[in-house]
Structure 1
């Protein structure tokens, strides 16, 4: 298989397990899979692990870029994420009122000699990462045959 062009991701059966998928980008490859508890081989992160990884890496990179630009003495950022499904009625800040919805909990730890104002600003910047913005707005997914 030829590598996809930049900006395109190709997912194909890896051939090694029932659910194992090969994820290819222009410069990288990795495997994704389901855990053994649901019939996978646990050969890689789950689809939701990859979604959370996208948000977490984008968050940390966006915060790092801002800190570097502003001369903020940020040493390290840790982003911990979790995905859950909750009843809409249990969400006080959601537009959806019925059924279930997804909730992503993100906890961010900043290391460095930062004052309270810098920590607050970095948390604000975290919400501006492109993946956060994508997930927070309407998404249109168009499926078409190749």
Structure 2
């Protein structure tokens, strides 16, 4: 079942994440005991949404042969501890020769990325010891 694996040793919070032949490092900031050697788990989640939205917008613009030169997606989120509600905020910058109708359609397409569909749907996490 292995798609992505994460391994941590005794070095506080430094975690190596492997997917296929790619390895990235996750860590926590020094302020909470990490060494700031990589993205935090929260930043990894935000980056997944940002990257997926940007790629989906790019794919759609390419199919339509629109003059989209660059997509910049900024993502942040707020979590309400009391209600356990998480609100993601996406700011999408579209650079290119696009009219208002094209820009609105690309904004809509950004919300159709697979990651956004996952995090806005019902999520079940099943854990088991190996």
Question: Unaligned regions of 5+ residues in structure 1, if any?
Answer: 88-97
Taking structure 2 as the reference length, the TM-score comes to 0.94
Question: Unaligned regions of 5+ residues in structure 2, if any?
Answer: none
Taking structure 1 as the reference length, the TM-score comes to 0.84
RMSD, matched Cα: 1.6
Query: 2: CA distance between counterparts of 1:59 and 1:79?
Result: 7
The number of equivalent residue pairs is 130
Cα deviations across residues 43-102 of structure 1 (Å, max 9, x unaligned)? 100001000000000000000000000111100000011121237xxxxxxxxxx62411
Query: 2: CA distance between counterparts of 1:136 and 1:115?
Result: 29
CA contact 1:110–1:119 (8 Å) conserved in 2 = yes
**Corresponding position of 1:9:** 4
Q: Please identify which structure carries the higher strand content.
A: 2
The runs of at least 4 aligned residues of structure 1 exceeding 6 Å deviation read: none
Quick one: which of 79, 95, 104 aligns to 1:111?
Answer: 95
Q: 1:123 is paired with a residue of what secondary structure?
A: helix
